[in-house]
Homo-oligomer: A and B are copies of this chain.
Amino acid sequence: MPLIVQKYGGTSVGSVERIMAVAKKIILAKSQGNDLVIVVSAMSGETNRLVSLAKEISDPPNAREFDVLLSTGEQVTISLLSMALEAQGCLARSYTGAQVHILTDSSHNKARIIDIDDKKIHSDLKDGKVVVVAGFQGVDEHGNITTLGRGGSDTTAVALAAALKADECQIYTDVDGVYTTDPRMVSDARRLEQICFEEMLEMASLGSKVLQIRSVEFASKYNVPLRVLSAFEDGPGTLITIENNKMEKALISGIAFSRDEAKLTLLGVEDRPGIAAHILAPISEANIEVDMIIQNKGQDNTTDFTFTVHRNDYNKSLNILNNLTESLGVREIVGDEQIVKISLVGVGMRSHAGIASTMFKTLSDEGINIQMISTSEIKISVVVDEKYLELGVRVLHDVFGLQE
């Protein structure tokens, strides 16, 4: 009998009505001959309510106790969903993270899963029960409750699927799959039947919020077939899996973009070894993530150094650099908060030259100036003025035939 792990997020279980609807979906899947393990998040709004309570008392709250608090959110959902299943005649059994011993390290609020005890689950499945597990939470070796941090329920689902050697891990969300690009921006964006892990990682890291990066990495590492589907309508969704021969042989799978970019340029930096580290060390010490980095050697003995950060970190970064001006011998620091990043993603581009030049020519034909370029094996990203975002995404979607 196929074993499926299904995960339902906070919106999907956000009310008693929604929980009843999810129970119906589960019962249908069971009647189709599947063994089912269900992972659920807290009902939407519940985690925020708990966070507010904690912050009224202490901000930041004690990390261990914060996990004790937050973990109640998913515990409420597992019990209500199991009741709904039982009330409809479907045997069900709920488990907290601690009860199925989802063993994590002791990093409260951002713990990592080490091991899962699958004995109870296998035994319940053998008894014909649907097993309902609280997402987002675990327990450390001392019995302390831990939580996995943002998107943790996806990670729980994938980890359970890996531990149980499930045939598929289905992530139910409020979208019906992964698209070639954001359908709100390009009306003929197309849902992908299939996408490989590496592509999904690039898509996810570029603002496509369908799945948490961490859960995709996890699925990739343990080779768990992952499917994104809508919790609200029927449909096959998008299967995320390892690259294989049956896969659509598209050059490009999708176009991702990010609006939250800002760039900083140091002009006339003295060009000597170690200068990049000297500039970026204080930035990373301030917990600011640097994305793209470009260094252009000038004609004299100086260089221009440019990097991008999240727009929220722009002012903080600028302050740090201004304090460095003297020690770096910088002529001038300039910045731009009005930039965006557009990326082509596709494993197909590995074996095809000419993708990059088609991309650049297409943008240039529209008068879109490319400010920065960065490439990886399966991605080409460009930074452009934010006013060109929609135009750029649309013409690229078109020229690479993604609507077909």
Contacts and interface: CB of A to CB of B under 8 A. Distances in A.
Interface of A: 16, 19-20, 50, 53-54, 56-58, 61-62, 64-66, 68-69, 71-72, 75-76, 78-80, 82-84, 86-87, 92-94, 96, 98-99, 143, 145
A71 B78 CA distance: 13
A80 B53 contact: yes
26 contacts: A16-B56, A50-B76, A54-B80, A57-B83, A57-B87, A58-B83, A58-B84, A61-B83, A62-B83, A62-B86, A65-B79, A65-B80, A65-B82, A65-B92, A66-B79, A66-B83, A68-B75, A68-B79, A68-B82, A68-B94, A69-B79, A69-B80, A71-B75, A72-B75, A96-B145, A99-B145
Given A62-B82, A86-B65, A16 B143 contact: no
A54 to B, nearest CB: 6
Given A53-B80, A75-B75, A98-B98, A86 B58 contact: yes
A195 to B, nearest CB: 36
Contacts of A56: 16
A143 B100 CA distance: 10
Contacts of A19: 57
A69 B58 contact: no
The 5 residue pairs across chains A and B that have the minimum distance between CB atoms = A58-B87, A69-B79, A68-B79, A72-B72, A62-B86
Nearest to A101: B143
A58 B75 CA distance: 17
A47 to B, nearest CB: 12
Given A66-B79, A71-B75, A99-B145, 7 more contacts: A20-B57, A50-B76, A53-B76, A58-B83, A58-B86, A62-B83, A65-B83
Contact of A99 (B53, B84, B143): B143
Nearest to A69: B79
Contacts of A53: 16, 76, 80
A211 B87 CA distance: 35
Contacts of A75: 68-69, 71-72, 75
Contacts of A98: 98
A325 to B, nearest CB: 41
A30 to B, nearest CB: 17
Nearest to A52: B16
Contacts of A94: 64-65, 68
A80 B99 contact: no
A99 B84 CA distance: 27
A84 B65 CA distance: 10
Contacts of A66: 79, 83
Contacts of A87: 57-58, 61-62
A98 B69 CA distance: 15
A339 B61 CA distance: 54
**Which of A68, A71, A86 gathers the greatest number of chain B CB atoms within 10 Å?**
A68
